[in-house]
A and B are shown apart, each in its own frame.
Chain A
Amino acid sequence: MDFLTQIITGISSWIIPGLISLIIVVAIWKRIPVYEAFVEGAKDGFQTAVQIIPYLVGMMVAITIFRESGALQLITQSLNPFFNFFNFPSEVFPLAILRPISGTGALALTSNLIATYGPDSFIGRLASTMQGSTDTTFYIITVYFGAIGVKKTGYAIKVGLIADLVGIIASFIVVTLYFK
Protein backbone atom coordinates (compact mmCIF):
# COMPACT_ATOMS: atom_id res chain seq x y z
CA MET A 1 0.00 0.00 0.00
CA ASP A 2 1.29 3.47 -0.82
CA PHE A 3 1.71 6.22 1.72
CA LEU A 4 -1.45 8.19 0.87
CA THR A 5 -3.57 5.04 1.15
CA GLN A 6 -2.11 4.32 4.58
CA ILE A 7 -2.82 7.86 5.75
CA ILE A 8 -6.39 7.80 4.46
CA THR A 9 -7.24 4.38 5.88
CA GLY A 10 -5.52 5.37 9.14
CA ILE A 11 -7.43 8.63 9.47
CA SER A 12 -10.76 7.15 8.42
CA SER A 13 -10.64 4.47 11.10
CA TRP A 14 -9.98 7.18 13.70
CA ILE A 15 -12.65 9.71 12.63
CA ILE A 16 -15.67 8.20 14.39
CA PRO A 17 -13.98 7.10 17.66
CA GLY A 18 -12.16 10.45 17.70
CA LEU A 19 -15.35 12.44 17.11
CA ILE A 20 -17.27 10.60 19.82
CA SER A 21 -14.39 11.09 22.29
CA LEU A 22 -14.21 14.80 21.48
CA ILE A 23 -17.95 15.28 22.00
CA ILE A 24 -18.13 13.47 25.36
CA VAL A 25 -14.98 15.14 26.68
CA VAL A 26 -16.23 18.65 25.85
CA ALA A 27 -19.67 17.80 27.27
CA ILE A 28 -18.28 16.45 30.56
CA TRP A 29 -16.09 19.56 30.80
CA LYS A 30 -19.26 21.67 30.52
CA ARG A 31 -20.95 19.56 33.25
CA ILE A 32 -23.49 17.99 30.84
CA PRO A 33 -24.98 14.68 32.08
CA VAL A 34 -23.68 12.85 29.00
CA TYR A 35 -25.48 9.56 29.31
CA GLU A 36 -28.80 11.22 30.05
CA ALA A 37 -28.36 13.55 27.05
CA PHE A 38 -27.53 10.55 24.85
CA VAL A 39 -30.67 8.68 25.85
CA GLU A 40 -32.78 11.81 25.44
CA GLY A 41 -31.60 12.26 21.83
CA ALA A 42 -31.50 8.57 20.96
CA LYS A 43 -35.13 7.88 21.83
CA ASP A 44 -36.24 9.51 18.55
CA GLY A 45 -34.26 6.98 16.49
CA PHE A 46 -36.79 4.17 16.40
CA GLN A 47 -39.79 6.37 15.69
CA THR A 48 -37.97 8.20 12.89
CA ALA A 49 -36.97 4.93 11.21
CA VAL A 50 -40.53 3.61 11.45
CA GLN A 51 -41.89 6.84 9.98
CA ILE A 52 -39.74 6.32 6.87
CA ILE A 53 -41.20 2.85 6.15
CA PRO A 54 -44.17 3.85 3.95
CA TYR A 55 -42.01 6.15 1.82
CA LEU A 56 -39.25 3.60 1.42
CA VAL A 57 -41.59 0.67 0.71
CA GLY A 58 -43.35 2.70 -1.99
CA MET A 59 -40.12 3.74 -3.64
CA MET A 60 -38.39 0.36 -3.34
CA VAL A 61 -41.34 -1.47 -4.93
CA ALA A 62 -41.23 0.87 -7.95
CA ILE A 63 -37.44 0.66 -8.25
CA THR A 64 -37.32 -3.14 -7.89
CA ILE A 65 -40.02 -3.61 -10.54
CA PHE A 66 -38.16 -1.25 -12.88
CA ARG A 67 -34.81 -2.96 -12.28
CA GLU A 68 -35.93 -6.61 -12.38
CA SER A 69 -38.48 -6.38 -15.22
CA GLY A 70 -35.85 -5.71 -17.85
CA ALA A 71 -36.98 -2.08 -18.27
CA LEU A 72 -33.63 -0.84 -17.00
CA GLN A 73 -31.78 -3.04 -19.51
CA LEU A 74 -34.09 -1.92 -22.29
CA ILE A 75 -33.27 1.75 -21.64
CA THR A 76 -29.57 0.96 -21.34
CA GLN A 77 -29.58 -0.85 -24.68
CA SER A 78 -31.61 1.73 -26.54
CA LEU A 79 -29.32 4.55 -25.39
CA ASN A 80 -26.17 2.58 -26.18
CA PRO A 81 -25.52 4.09 -29.65
CA PHE A 82 -25.70 7.56 -28.13
CA PHE A 83 -23.04 6.69 -25.54
CA ASN A 84 -20.87 4.88 -28.05
CA PHE A 85 -20.84 8.06 -30.09
CA PHE A 86 -19.02 9.79 -27.21
CA ASN A 87 -16.73 6.78 -26.64
CA PHE A 88 -18.33 6.23 -23.24
CA PRO A 89 -17.64 2.55 -22.44
CA SER A 90 -20.88 0.58 -22.72
CA GLU A 91 -19.80 -1.62 -19.76
CA VAL A 92 -20.03 1.36 -17.37
CA PHE A 93 -23.23 2.76 -18.83
CA PRO A 94 -25.62 0.63 -16.69
CA LEU A 95 -23.89 2.12 -13.64
CA ALA A 96 -24.76 5.64 -14.83
CA ILE A 97 -28.44 4.70 -15.00
CA LEU A 98 -28.47 2.66 -11.77
CA ARG A 99 -26.45 5.07 -9.59
CA PRO A 100 -29.23 7.57 -8.72
CA ILE A 101 -31.85 4.81 -8.34
CA SER A 102 -30.27 2.09 -6.22
CA GLY A 103 -27.34 2.53 -3.83
CA THR A 104 -26.69 -1.16 -3.12
CA GLY A 105 -27.25 -2.05 -6.77
CA ALA A 106 -24.73 0.57 -7.92
CA LEU A 107 -22.17 -0.48 -5.33
CA ALA A 108 -22.48 -4.13 -6.39
CA LEU A 109 -22.10 -3.13 -10.03
CA THR A 110 -19.02 -0.99 -9.28
CA SER A 111 -17.39 -3.88 -7.38
CA ASN A 112 -18.26 -6.16 -10.26
CA LEU A 113 -16.73 -3.81 -12.87
CA ILE A 114 -13.57 -3.39 -10.77
CA ALA A 115 -13.31 -7.16 -10.27
CA THR A 116 -13.87 -7.94 -13.96
CA TYR A 117 -11.77 -5.25 -15.64
CA GLY A 118 -9.28 -4.52 -12.85
CA PRO A 119 -9.14 -1.43 -10.58
CA ASP A 120 -6.42 0.20 -12.69
CA SER A 121 -8.16 -0.16 -16.07
CA PHE A 122 -10.00 2.76 -17.67
CA ILE A 123 -13.32 1.10 -16.86
CA GLY A 124 -12.24 0.46 -13.25
CA ARG A 125 -11.12 4.05 -12.76
CA LEU A 126 -14.23 5.49 -14.39
CA ALA A 127 -16.55 3.28 -12.31
CA SER A 128 -14.63 4.24 -9.13
CA THR A 129 -14.87 7.95 -9.88
CA MET A 130 -18.55 7.79 -10.80
CA GLN A 131 -19.41 5.78 -7.70
CA GLY A 132 -17.60 8.28 -5.48
CA SER A 133 -18.78 11.52 -7.05
CA THR A 134 -22.53 10.90 -7.29
CA ASP A 135 -25.10 9.71 -4.81
CA THR A 136 -28.34 7.74 -4.64
CA THR A 137 -30.70 10.66 -5.26
CA PHE A 138 -33.92 8.64 -4.91
CA TYR A 139 -32.88 7.09 -1.61
CA ILE A 140 -31.81 10.39 -0.06
CA ILE A 141 -34.95 12.21 -1.16
CA THR A 142 -37.18 9.37 0.07
CA VAL A 143 -35.49 9.03 3.45
CA TYR A 144 -34.97 12.73 4.22
CA PHE A 145 -38.48 13.82 3.28
CA GLY A 146 -39.98 10.61 4.67
CA ALA A 147 -38.50 11.27 8.10
CA ILE A 148 -40.40 14.56 8.40
CA GLY A 149 -43.53 13.56 6.48
CA VAL A 150 -43.09 15.97 3.56
CA LYS A 151 -44.95 14.64 0.51
CA LYS A 152 -44.72 17.65 -1.82
CA THR A 153 -41.02 17.47 -2.63
CA GLY A 154 -40.96 20.29 -5.19
CA TYR A 155 -37.90 20.61 -7.39
CA ALA A 156 -35.49 18.56 -5.21
CA ILE A 157 -35.60 15.43 -7.43
CA LYS A 158 -34.96 17.42 -10.61
CA VAL A 159 -31.94 19.14 -9.05
CA GLY A 160 -30.58 15.83 -7.74
CA LEU A 161 -30.93 14.00 -11.04
CA ILE A 162 -29.37 16.80 -13.10
CA ALA A 163 -26.48 16.96 -10.60
CA ASP A 164 -25.98 13.20 -11.04
CA LEU A 165 -25.87 13.65 -14.81
CA VAL A 166 -23.31 16.44 -14.46
CA GLY A 167 -21.28 14.24 -12.09
CA ILE A 168 -21.27 11.35 -14.58
CA ILE A 169 -20.24 13.55 -17.52
CA ALA A 170 -17.57 15.25 -15.40
CA SER A 171 -16.24 11.84 -14.22
CA PHE A 172 -15.93 10.66 -17.81
CA ILE A 173 -14.13 13.82 -18.97
CA VAL A 174 -11.82 14.04 -15.94
CA VAL A 175 -10.85 10.34 -15.98
CA THR A 176 -10.21 10.52 -19.74
CA LEU A 177 -7.98 13.58 -19.43
CA TYR A 178 -6.23 12.61 -16.18
CA PHE A 179 -5.24 9.04 -17.09
CA LYS A 180 -4.36 9.69 -20.72
Chain B
Amino acid sequence: MVNWIWFLLILFGIITAGVTGNIEVVNKAIFEGAKSGVTISFGLISILTLWLGIMKIAEEAGMLRQIGRLLRPLVGFLFPDIPKDHVAIGYIISNMTANIFGLGNAATPMGIKAMKELQKLNPHKDRATASMSTLLAINTSSITLVPTIVISIRITYNSANPTEIVGTTMIATIFSTAAAILLDRWYRFKNIKNK
Protein backbone atom coordinates (compact mmCIF):
# COMPACT_ATOMS: atom_id res chain seq x y z
CA MET B 1 0.00 0.00 0.00
CA VAL B 2 2.66 2.53 1.02
CA ASN B 3 4.60 1.78 -2.17
CA TRP B 4 1.57 2.53 -4.34
CA ILE B 5 0.70 5.74 -2.49
CA TRP B 6 4.27 6.99 -2.83
CA PHE B 7 4.39 6.06 -6.50
CA LEU B 8 1.03 7.69 -7.30
CA LEU B 9 1.74 10.93 -5.39
CA ILE B 10 4.95 11.43 -7.36
CA LEU B 11 3.80 10.25 -10.80
CA PHE B 12 0.43 11.99 -10.69
CA GLY B 13 2.14 15.19 -9.55
CA ILE B 14 4.79 15.10 -12.30
CA ILE B 15 2.23 14.31 -15.03
CA THR B 16 -0.11 17.10 -13.86
CA ALA B 17 2.76 19.58 -13.83
CA GLY B 18 3.97 18.39 -17.24
CA VAL B 19 0.54 18.71 -18.87
CA THR B 20 -0.10 22.16 -17.40
CA GLY B 21 3.41 23.35 -18.29
CA ASN B 22 4.55 23.68 -14.70
CA ILE B 23 7.44 21.24 -14.74
CA GLU B 24 9.76 23.90 -13.31
CA VAL B 25 7.60 23.90 -10.17
CA VAL B 26 8.23 20.17 -9.75
CA ASN B 27 11.98 20.67 -10.01
CA LYS B 28 11.78 23.08 -7.13
CA ALA B 29 9.35 20.90 -5.18
CA ILE B 30 11.61 17.83 -5.32
CA PHE B 31 14.47 19.56 -3.52
CA GLU B 32 12.21 21.56 -1.25
CA GLY B 33 10.56 18.30 -0.15
CA ALA B 34 13.91 16.63 0.54
CA LYS B 35 15.00 19.65 2.53
CA SER B 36 11.84 19.78 4.62
CA GLY B 37 12.20 16.04 5.38
CA VAL B 38 15.60 16.75 6.91
CA THR B 39 14.40 19.94 8.62
CA ILE B 40 11.49 18.12 10.29
CA SER B 41 13.76 15.27 11.42
CA PHE B 42 16.21 17.75 12.91
CA GLY B 43 13.34 19.57 14.57
CA LEU B 44 12.54 16.29 16.31
CA ILE B 45 16.02 16.05 17.88
CA SER B 46 15.29 18.51 20.68
CA ILE B 47 11.86 17.18 21.68
CA LEU B 48 12.97 13.53 21.35
CA THR B 49 16.05 14.11 23.50
CA LEU B 50 14.07 16.03 26.13
CA TRP B 51 11.14 13.63 26.45
CA LEU B 52 13.12 10.41 26.16
CA GLY B 53 15.20 11.74 29.07
CA ILE B 54 12.23 12.79 31.20
CA MET B 55 10.38 9.54 30.50
CA LYS B 56 13.45 7.50 31.46
CA ILE B 57 13.25 9.09 34.91
CA ALA B 58 9.55 8.18 35.10
CA GLU B 59 10.35 4.65 33.99
CA GLU B 60 13.09 4.14 36.58
CA ALA B 61 10.88 5.57 39.31
CA GLY B 62 8.34 2.86 38.42
CA MET B 63 5.71 5.40 37.42
CA LEU B 64 5.12 3.98 33.95
CA ARG B 65 4.42 0.50 35.28
CA GLN B 66 2.08 1.99 37.81
CA ILE B 67 -0.06 3.80 35.24
CA GLY B 68 0.00 0.62 33.18
CA ARG B 69 -1.44 -1.33 36.10
CA LEU B 70 -4.05 1.35 36.77
CA LEU B 71 -5.41 1.26 33.23
CA ARG B 72 -4.92 -2.46 32.64
CA PRO B 73 -8.54 -3.22 31.56
CA LEU B 74 -8.43 -0.61 28.79
CA VAL B 75 -4.95 -1.54 27.60
CA GLY B 76 -5.71 -5.25 27.84
CA PHE B 77 -8.67 -4.74 25.54
CA LEU B 78 -6.84 -2.61 22.98
CA PHE B 79 -3.49 -4.43 23.09
CA PRO B 80 -4.18 -8.07 23.97
CA ASP B 81 -0.73 -9.30 22.83
CA ILE B 82 1.48 -7.09 25.04
CA PRO B 83 2.63 -9.03 28.13
CA LYS B 84 1.27 -7.74 31.43
CA ASP B 85 3.55 -5.28 33.23
CA HIS B 86 5.56 -4.63 30.07
CA VAL B 87 6.97 -1.08 30.05
CA ALA B 88 5.52 -0.48 26.54
CA ILE B 89 2.10 -0.13 28.18
CA GLY B 90 3.26 2.83 30.27
CA TYR B 91 4.61 4.58 27.18
CA ILE B 92 1.41 3.87 25.23
CA ILE B 93 -0.70 5.41 28.01
CA SER B 94 1.63 8.44 28.22
CA ASN B 95 1.30 8.88 24.46
CA MET B 96 -2.50 8.66 24.61
CA THR B 97 -2.66 11.12 27.53
CA ALA B 98 -0.42 13.63 25.73
CA ASN B 99 -2.69 13.33 22.67
CA ILE B 100 -5.83 13.88 24.72
CA PHE B 101 -4.43 17.17 26.05
CA GLY B 102 -3.29 18.24 22.58
CA LEU B 103 0.41 18.10 23.50
CA GLY B 104 1.74 17.04 20.10
CA ASN B 105 5.32 17.84 21.10
CA ALA B 106 5.24 15.33 23.93
CA ALA B 107 2.98 12.78 22.25
CA THR B 108 5.36 12.06 19.36
CA PRO B 109 8.44 11.14 21.48
CA MET B 110 6.30 8.99 23.80
CA GLY B 111 4.70 7.26 20.82
CA ILE B 112 8.11 6.63 19.26
CA LYS B 113 9.40 5.19 22.54
CA ALA B 114 6.32 2.95 22.73
CA MET B 115 7.06 1.76 19.18
CA LYS B 116 10.65 0.98 20.20
CA GLU B 117 9.41 -1.11 23.11
CA LEU B 118 6.91 -2.90 20.82
CA GLN B 119 9.72 -3.55 18.35
CA LYS B 120 11.54 -5.53 21.08
CA LEU B 121 8.54 -7.92 21.10
CA ASN B 122 8.45 -8.13 17.29
CA PRO B 123 9.65 -11.43 15.76
CA HIS B 124 9.94 -9.91 12.23
CA LYS B 125 11.85 -6.64 12.64
CA ASP B 126 10.88 -5.11 9.29
CA ARG B 127 7.16 -5.85 9.58
CA ALA B 128 4.49 -4.02 11.61
CA THR B 129 2.86 -6.02 14.43
CA ALA B 130 -0.83 -5.87 15.38
CA SER B 131 -0.04 -3.82 18.51
CA MET B 132 1.95 -1.30 16.46
CA SER B 133 -0.96 -0.93 14.05
CA THR B 134 -3.36 -0.35 16.95
CA LEU B 135 -1.09 2.34 18.41
CA LEU B 136 -0.90 3.97 14.97
CA ALA B 137 -4.68 3.75 14.55
CA ILE B 138 -5.20 5.59 17.84
CA ASN B 139 -2.64 8.24 16.94
CA THR B 140 -3.71 8.88 13.35
CA SER B 141 -7.35 9.25 14.34
CA SER B 142 -6.25 11.77 16.99
CA ILE B 143 -7.92 11.43 20.37
CA THR B 144 -7.49 15.14 21.11
CA LEU B 145 -10.07 16.37 23.62
CA VAL B 146 -8.56 19.82 24.08
CA PRO B 147 -7.39 21.17 20.71
CA THR B 148 -4.98 23.73 22.18
CA ILE B 149 -3.53 24.91 18.86
CA VAL B 150 -6.93 25.53 17.28
CA ILE B 151 -8.12 27.40 20.39
CA SER B 152 -5.07 29.66 20.27
CA ILE B 153 -5.66 30.44 16.57
CA ARG B 154 -9.28 31.30 17.39
CA ILE B 155 -8.13 33.61 20.20
CA THR B 156 -5.72 35.33 17.80
CA TYR B 157 -8.56 36.10 15.38
CA ASN B 158 -10.81 37.47 18.13
CA SER B 159 -13.40 34.72 18.37
CA ALA B 160 -16.33 35.66 20.64
CA ASN B 161 -16.12 32.14 22.05
CA PRO B 162 -12.79 30.40 21.27
CA THR B 163 -13.68 27.18 23.09
CA GLU B 164 -17.09 26.63 21.50
CA ILE B 165 -15.50 24.09 19.16
CA VAL B 166 -14.25 21.88 22.04
CA GLY B 167 -17.57 20.03 22.16
CA THR B 168 -17.86 19.49 18.41
CA THR B 169 -14.21 18.43 18.20
CA MET B 170 -14.73 15.93 21.01
CA ILE B 171 -17.73 14.33 19.29
CA ALA B 172 -16.02 14.20 15.88
CA THR B 173 -12.90 12.71 17.52
CA ILE B 174 -14.95 10.02 19.24
CA PHE B 175 -16.36 9.01 15.84
CA SER B 176 -13.00 8.93 14.08
CA THR B 177 -11.27 7.08 16.92
CA ALA B 178 -14.10 4.56 17.17
CA ALA B 179 -13.87 3.98 13.42
CA ALA B 180 -10.09 3.52 13.66
CA ILE B 181 -10.34 1.04 16.55
CA LEU B 182 -13.12 -0.97 14.90
CA LEU B 183 -11.25 -1.14 11.58
CA ASP B 184 -8.04 -2.07 13.35
CA ARG B 185 -9.86 -4.90 15.15
CA TRP B 186 -11.33 -6.11 11.89
CA TYR B 187 -7.93 -6.23 10.14
CA ARG B 188 -6.32 -7.78 13.21
CA PHE B 189 -8.70 -10.72 13.21
CA LYS B 190 -8.70 -11.03 9.43
CA ASN B 191 -4.91 -11.36 9.54
CA ILE B 192 -5.05 -13.99 12.30
CA LYS B 193 -7.53 -16.02 10.24
CA ASN B 194 -5.34 -15.85 7.13
CA LYS B 195 -2.37 -17.26 9.05
**Chain A residues at the B interface, C-beta cutoff of 8 Å:** 1-2, 4-5, 8-9, 12, 15-16, 20, 23-24, 26-27, 30, 32, 34, 37-46, 48-50, 52-53, 56-71, 74, 100, 107, 110-111, 114-115, 118-120, 124-125, 128-135, 137, 140-141, 143-145, 147-160, 162-164, 166-167, 170-171, 174-175, 178-179
Contacts and interface: CB of A to CB of B under 8 A. Distances in A.
Nearest to B6: A62
Contacts, number: 366
B157 A148 contact: no
- Contact residue range for chain B? 35 or more
A49 to B, nearest CB: 4
B56 A153 contact: no
Contacts of A68: 13, 25-26, 28-29, 32
B70 interface: no
Interface in B139-195: 139-142, 144, 146-155, 157-169, 171-173, 175-177, 179-180, 183-184, 187, 191
Tell me what chain B mostly uses at the interface: helix, strand, loop, or mixed.
Answer: helix
Given A66-B12, A163-B183, A178-B168, A45 B126 contact: no
A125 B153 CA distance: 12
Interface string B14-52: 111100101001101110111011101110111011101
A119 B157 contact: yes
Chain A to chain B: the 4 pairs with minimum beta-carbon distance, closest first: A41-B56, A45-B49, A132-B147, A42-B53
Contacts of B127: 150, 152, 154
Interface of B: 1-2, 5-6, 9-10, 12-17, 20, 22, 25-26, 28-30, 32-34, 36-38, 40-42, 44-46, 48-50, 52-63, 101-103, 106, 108-109, 111-112, 115-116, 118-119, 125-128, 132-133, 135-137, 139-142, 144, 146-155, 157-169, 171-173, 175-177, 179-180, 183-184, 187, 191
A179 B147 CA distance: 18
Tell me what chain A mostly uses at the interface: helix, strand, loop, or mixed.
Answer: helix
Nearest to A55: B37
A114 B154 contact: yes
Contacts of A34: 57
A8 B163 contact: yes
Contact of A12 (B62, B101, B136, B179): B101
A53 to B, nearest CB: 5
A170 B175 contact: yes
Contacts of A42: 49-50, 52-53, 56
Most chain-B Cβ atoms within 10 A of its Cβ — which of A8, A39, A155? A155
Nearest to B28: A68
B141 A62 contact: no
A106 to B, nearest CB: 11
Contact of B10 (A30, A40, A61): A61
Contacts of A5: 151, 155, 161-163
